[in-house]
Structure 1
Amino acid sequence: MHATTILGLRYKGAVAMGGDGQVSFNDTIMKSKAVKVRKLHDDKILAGFAGAAADALALFERFENKIGEYSGNLPRAAVELAKDWRTDKYLQKLEALLAVADNKHSLLIAGSGEVVEPDDGILAIGSGGP
Structure 2
Amino acid sequence: MSQPERRSTTIIAIRHQGQVVVAGDGQVSLGQTIIKHQAKKVRRLYHDQVITGFAGATADAFTLYDRLEQKLEQYNGNLMRAAVELAKDWRMDKMLRRLEAMLIAVDATHSLLLSGNGDVIEGDDGILAIGSGGPYAQAAAKALIDHSELDAAAIARVALEIAGSLCVYTNTNIVVEKI
TM-score (norm 1): 0.95
User: Could you tell me which residue of structure 2 aligns to residue 78 of structure 1?
Assistant: 83
Q: 1:82 to 1:123 in 2, by over 3 A?
A: same
- 1:92 maps to what in 2? 97
The alpha carbon displacement at 1:112 in A equals 0.6
What one-letter code is carried by the residue in structure 1 that aligns with 2:59?
A
Q: Is the 8 A contact 2:7 2:132 kept in 1?
A: no
Q: Give the distance between the partners of 1:74 and 1:121, measured in 2 at CA.
A: 16
| CA positional deviation for 1:32 | 0.9
Any unmatched runs of 5+ in structure 1? none
Shift of residue 116, structure 1, vs aligned partner:
0.3
SS at match of 1:90: helix
Q: 1:49 aligns with which of 34, 51, 54?
A: 54
SS at match of 1:119: coil
Shift of 1:117: 0.2
Q: Distance between the aligned counterparts of 1:110 and 1:22, measured in 2?
A: 21
Match for 1:113 among 113, 118, 129? 118
CA-CA distance at 1:42 after TM superposition: 1.5
Which structure would you say has the larger Rg?
2
Rounded to whole Å, the distance in 1 between the matches of 2:128 and 2:79 is 15
Q: 1:64 maps to which residue?
A: 69
Distance 1:101 1:117, change over 3 A: same
- Greater fraction of residues in strand: 1
Native 8 Å contact 1:8 1:124 kept in 2: yes
Q: Using a 3 Å threshold, how does the CA distance of structure 1 residues 13 and 73 change in structure 2: closer, same or farther?
A: farther
- Residue 12 (structure 1) shift: 4.2
Contact 1:48 1:98 (8 Å CA) reproduced: yes
Q: Give the CA deviation at 1:11.
A: 2.4
Measure, in 1, the Cα distance between the counterparts of 2:86 and 2:122. Answer: 15
Distance 1:129 1:117 in 2: 16
Letter matched to residue 74 of structure 2: E
Preserved contact between residue 38 and residue 47 of structure 1 (Cα < 8 Å): yes
> In the TM superposition, what whole-angstrom CA distance separates every residue of 1:78-119 from its partner, at most 9, and x where no partner exists?
000000000000001100000000111000000010100001
Is 2:43 the counterpart of 1:38? yes
Structure 1 Cα separation of the partners of residues 67 and 18 of structure 2 = 26
Map Cα deviations across residues 2-21 of structure 1 (whole Å, 9 max, x no partner): 43210111124421111111
Q: Which runs of 5+ in 2 are unaligned?
A: 1-5, 136-179
**In the superposition, relative to structure 1, how do residues 127 and 24 fare at CA in structure 2: closer, same or farther (>3 Å)?**
same
Q: How far apart are the structure 1 equivalents of 2:121 and 2:89?
A: 16
- The offset of 1:43, in angstroms, is 1.2
